[in-house]
Amino acid sequence: MFYTAAGDASLIITFNPIFTVILAAPLLGQPISRKMFLGLFCGFIGVGIVTGWSPNTQIDFEDRILGDLLILCASFSWAATTNMTKRLMEGRDGENNYTALEIVVWYSLIGTIMMTPFVIYDVLGNGLILPTKEGLLAIVYLGALSTVLAYYWFTIGIEKLGATAASSYIFLVPLFGILGGWWLLDENLGYTIIIGFMMILIGVRIVQIESARLNTS
């Protein structure tokens, strides 16, 4: 997010359902076909359009490439987590099925342990910077609502709907991301945003339709 535009990132993160279906093959044993790779290709074309012809030219092209690549890696990691969460709930990795709350607690605990050394290193190098009142409210919102509570809701959604169906709700992100970037950050809107999103959407639909066909056959 530091290197790229919020609107661009919100489009690229919609790649998540494609990765979710592709990774369901090794993680959940679901079938995979050539049409799924066609959908993956269409999605990558969409990402390329968003990255290469973004209307947010106020951000250096090299920075946008790096930022968009990192967002794509985050989408891949998110998809892997979605499938592994479903795997834990089904008891594939042990005798007991984990609940949504247990999974979120363990994810959060391990993440805190991993990030703590980096925080200590940053404080020792740059000093402790206390947040302003506005910054503190933003941190509380990010930690409590958009991280813990939202991820808990998402985990319950995976339990009720399955990994693939739950990941489809990612399509709500671009609407809020693009409008939020335009309204709050003065980011630009352009036709390449629409074209890139349509290519990603086509790719995702190809993968989802093929996944449903294989799972019912």
User: Could you report the per-residue pLDDT of 66-108, keeping only the tens digit for each?
Assistant: 998 898 898 899 888 888 888 887 776 666 678 878 888 888 8
| Residue among 67, 63, 61 nearest 12 (CA) | 67
Q: How far is CA 83 from CA 22, 26, 41, 106, 213, in A?
A: 10, 10, 21, 16, 19
- Beta-carbon count within 10 A of 22 CB: 21
Tell me, what's the pLDDT at 113?
Answer: 94
Tell me, what's the pLDDT at 167?
Answer: 66
Tell me, what's the pLDDT at 70?
Answer: 92
Average pLDDT over residues 97-125: 86
Q: What is the mean pLDDT of the chain?
A: 79
Q: How far is CA 144 from CA 9, 103, 136, 139, 159, in A?
A: 22, 16, 12, 8, 21
Tell me, what's the pLDDT at 116?
Answer: 92
**Per-residue model confidence as pLDDT tens digits over 46-69:** 777 877 777 777 888 888 889 988
Q: Which long-range contacts (CB under 8 A, 24 or more apart) does 181-185 make?
A: 181/5, 181/6, 181/7, 181/10, 182/7, 185/5, 185/6
Q: How confident is the model at residue 172 (pLDDT cuts 50, 70, 90)?
A: low
Burial track 102-140 (b if 16+ CB lie within 10 A, e otherwise): ebbeebeeeeeeeeeeeeeeeeeeeeeeeeeeeeeeeee
Average pLDDT over residues 147-169: 75
Tell me, what's the pLDDT at 45?
Answer: 83
Q: Has residue 179 got a pLDDT over 80?
A: no
The full set of domain ranges for the chain reads 6-99+164-216
Residue with tokens 């671009």: 174
Q: Has residue 117 got a pLDDT over 90?
A: yes
